[in-house]
Amino acid sequence: MHQQKLYALPRAYSTQALIYRTDLMEAPPKTWDEVVAISKKIQSEHPGMYGFGIGGANHVSTLSQYFTILYSYGGRVFDEEGRLQLDSPEAVAALQRYVDFYRKDKIVPNPLEYNREQLPELFSAGRIAMFVSGPWGGRALGLPPDNDRIPYASAPVPAGPAGTATELVSDSTGIWAGTRNLEAALTFLDFITSPEEQVQRDLIGGLVPQGPTMATRPEFTQNPFFKTFIDMAPYGVPQPQPTLWEPFQEIIVNMVQSATLGLVTPEQAVKQAVRELRAKGLVPAERK
């Protein structure tokens, strides 16, 4: 919906949460500092396993991995009016936290070798004990939470100085304006977005139910794994909306990777990203 015009129907919605091994810790970490402490304990008791995993490859999910930490530090990329907010101490501190997981604390495998969608593979292989993802991260394991091999559960995203937070992302399905089969397309769209079909899509695909009515259905409220992701929604921050996505993605990935490699400091990486966002006209409020 934009300016009172309906362009597409919501089809997918997601929040994020922490997915963790219930057999390796008494309780999930509540803060990023606890993530480090618990991870080091796990690593001392289980040689060859990392306590945590983050994605930092050249992939769209790297933005989500950093933004989740950024929001927990109280930072933003743009404010509600589209003004640039990335040039902030919170953004630098969040990137420092991200980098420290790898370079200082050594609790994650090399982030640049993996994107977020590969973290379930590391989890199921016993390489990592925790990661942040959407509900699909659990579905990707191919096992129910209470299995005997790698029992797992979901918990709120660990808190930073500003508390817990998650990125909110939604996808919509529309109809091409030039279609010759408008009625059939409308019938199909009505069918796939009907409550019963949407519930099955969410459960099978690992997505968060859309809206308060769907969220109260027993399929989700009586499922502890899914319920965490519903509970995270009030702590969500919408995905940034630059003027163009692909160059924006490239700039943020380069920012994360250059700092992770130690080529520049987190502060230098953020400042460079800010310069590039402005130079390429990607800041909505500064668009000419």
User: Which of 217, 232, 247 is a domain's end point?
Assistant: 232
How is the chain classified by DSSP, letter by letter? -BTTB---EEEEEE--EEEEETTS-SS--SBHHHHHHHHHHHHHHSTT-BS-B---SSSTHHHHHHHHHHHHTT--SB-TTS-B--SSHHHHHHHHHHHHHHHTS--S--GGG--GGGHHHHHHTTSBSEEEE-THHHHTTTS-TT-SSS-EEEEPPPBBTTB--EEEEEEEE---TT-S-HHHHHHHHHHHTSHHHHHHHHHHHT-PPPHHHHHTSHHHHT-HHHHHHHHHGGGEEEPP--S-HHHHHHHHHHHHHHHHTTSS-HHHHHHHHHHHHHHTT--GGG--
**Together in a domain, 127 and 248:** yes
**Together in a domain, 66 and 205:** no
The whole-model pTM stands at 0.91
**Together in a domain, 60 and 194:** no
Structural domain includes residue 178: no
The CATH number of whichever domain residue 47 belongs to comes to 3.40.190.10
280 Cβ partners below 8 Å, 6+ apart?
Answer: 244, 247, 251
Domain limits at 250? 12-167+236-286
Nearest by Cα to 277 from 265, 268, 286: 286
**Together in a domain, 80 and 107:** yes
Structural domain includes residue 198: yes
Structural domain includes residue 177: no
The confidence score (pLDDT) of residue 3 equals 58
Q: Dihedral sign, CA of 117, 33, 156, 67?
A: negative
Per-residue pLDDT of the chain (288 residues; tens, 9 = 90+): 455 676 677 777 789 999 999 999 999 999 999 999 999 999 999 999 999 999 999 999 999 999 999 999 999 999 999 999 999 999 999 999 999 999 999 999 999 999 999 999 999 999 999 999 999 999 899 999 999 999 999 999 999 999 999 999 887 788 888 888 888 988 888 888 888 887 787 877 777 777 777 778 888 888 899 899 999 999 999 999 999 999 999 999 999 999 999 999 999 999 999 999 999 999 999 875
**Together in a domain, 241 and 159:** yes
**Together in a domain, 163 and 193:** no
The confidence score (pLDDT) of residue 1 equals 44
**Together in a domain, 147 and 39:** yes
**Together in a domain, 74 and 191:** no
**Together in a domain, 96 and 196:** no
Structural domain includes residue 2: no
138 Cβ partners below 8 Å, 6+ apart?
Answer: 19, 120, 145, 152, 154, 206, 225
Structural domain includes residue 263: yes
Condensed to tens digits (0 to 9), the pLDDT of residues 182-199 reads 889 888 888 888 888 877
Report residue 277 CA to chain centroid gap.
22
Structural domain includes residue 6: no
**Together in a domain, 39 and 125:** yes
Structural domain includes residue 172: no
**Together in a domain, 258 and 222:** no
Number of domains in the chain: 2
Structural domain includes residue 240: yes
**Together in a domain, 206 and 73:** no
